[in-house]
């Protein structure tokens, strides 16, 4: 299903663990941004690839959170504890 994106959840989990490790190692990390918040137009791919944390129905403009958006929100709300789920 469009809203079930386990590969993106795994990708985010691995990257956020690496971010945590970098901070623990002394890297002065100022922020992390997940690309992209919404499905959008990619110049070379059009609308075919959907990289967003939120699915966009381009006909209605309705936005629906994917599993990755819910995971990312849990990580933020738990200050990283959800990375161990």
pLDDT tens track for 47-61: 888 999 999 999 999
Do residues 2 and 66 lie in contact, with contact meaning Cβ atoms separated by under 8 Å?
yes
For residue 1, is pLDDT > 90? no
What average pLDDT does the structure give for the chain? 94
In percent, the amount of the chain with pLDDT more than 70 equals 99
CB 32 within 8 A of CB 46: no
Q: Print burial letters for 9-47: b (CB count within 10 Å at least 16), e (below 16).
A: beebbeebeebeeeeeeeeeeeeeebeeeebeeeeeeee
pLDDT-derived band at 31 (thresholds 50, 70, 90) equals very high
pTM of the predicted protein model: 0.89
Q: What is the reported pLDDT for 2?
A: 79
């Amino acid at each position: 299903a469009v809203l079930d994106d386990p590969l993106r959840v795994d990708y985010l989990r691995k990257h956020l663990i690496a971010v945590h490790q970098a901070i623990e190692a002394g890297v002065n990390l100022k922020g992390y941004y997940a690309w992209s918040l919404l499905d959008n137009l990619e110049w070379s791919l059009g609308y075919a690839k959907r990289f967003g944390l939120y699915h966009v129905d381009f006909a209605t403009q309705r936005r629906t959170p994917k599993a990755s958006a819910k995971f990312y929100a849990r990580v933020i709300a738990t200050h990283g504890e959800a990375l161990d789920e």
